[in-house]
Amino acid sequence: MTTPSPQQPPRGPLDRLLALGTLPVAALALTGTLAAYITLVAFGNLTDFGTNREFVRHVLAMDTTFGDKDVMWRAVGSRLLQDLAYVAVIAWEVLAAVVLVTATVLWFRALRSRTEERTPYARYAKYARYERARRATTLGAVMLMLLFGLGFVAVGGEWFSMWQSSKWNGLDAAARNFTLAGFVLLLVHLPSAQWTEREREREQEPEPEQDTVTDVNSRDSARD
């Protein structure tokens, strides 16, 4: 007579809701938020090309700064170079948007592909799906941090003295974007059972006992 296996209690609406309170779900939500934001930024710059082009032109020309002759030699007065810099910014935004949208899709697929199998292959496949999503989010977030941190804060703010301008000053917006991308980057690198389970299981795998190995060798020698 076999003993029936215990069944899990039925899950209510609250349990289903609380099941969403995991780090992978948060990573999906915030990666999607970051992807939506930079997609809208790139779309706005493409459809309303002239507005931010004027911003880039004034920043590079340094025509609204204090006019200190010791730094004005850094100004870029060529309209061609100014517009090329603006196009490069838009291209970087589009590329970052593609990466982050891809990361969002990878997170969604990883969450939907939950499996109850406990085979080594199933555990590795689950870990690999989360790892791909984390790497894609990491790449996209770092791209945004480079754009707003290096491009706007360091180059625009310091090299072209954007901080001196009261009208064409994008440092506050750049700082917000840098902080948002940095927060998402930190979030996806927090420890979670979903993507550290494989490492823990590897550490917990029992090593073969020395006595067992010795007994096997003794039996083999006796046969010889």
Residues 6+ apart with CB under 8 A from 63: 75
Structure confidence by residue, pLDDT tens digits, 110-148: 988 765 455 555 666 777 899 999 999 999 999 999 999
Angle between helices 120-145 and 79-112 in degrees, nearest 10: 160
pTM: 0.79
Sign of CA dihedral 99, 102, 104, 109: negative
Q: Across residues 188-216, what is the average pLDDT? A: 60
Task: Return the closest-CA partner of residue 130 out of 47, 31, 208.
Answer: 31
Measure the CA–CA gap between 203 and 150, rounded to whole angstroms: 40
The lowest-confidence range among 39-53, 153-167, 174-188, 198-212 is 198-212
Residue 22 has pLDDT above 70, yes or no: yes
Question: Would you place residue 13 in the very low, low, confident or very high pLDDT band (cuts 50, 70, 90)?
Answer: confident
Q: Across residues 168-173, what is the average pLDDT? A: 96
Q: What is the pLDDT of residue 36?
A: 98
Q: Across residues 18-30, what is the average pLDDT? A: 88
Report the mean per-residue pLDDT for the chain. 85
Residue 100 has pLDDT above 90, yes or no: yes
Measure the CA–CA gap between 1 and 58, rounded to whole angstroms: 85
Q: What is the pLDDT of residue 208?
A: 47
CB 40 within 8 A of CB 150: no
Q: Angle at Cα 218 formed by Cα 214 and Cα 222, nearest 5°?
A: 175
Measure the CA–CA gap between 219 and 223, rounded to whole angstroms: 6
Q: What is the pLDDT of residue 29?
A: 97
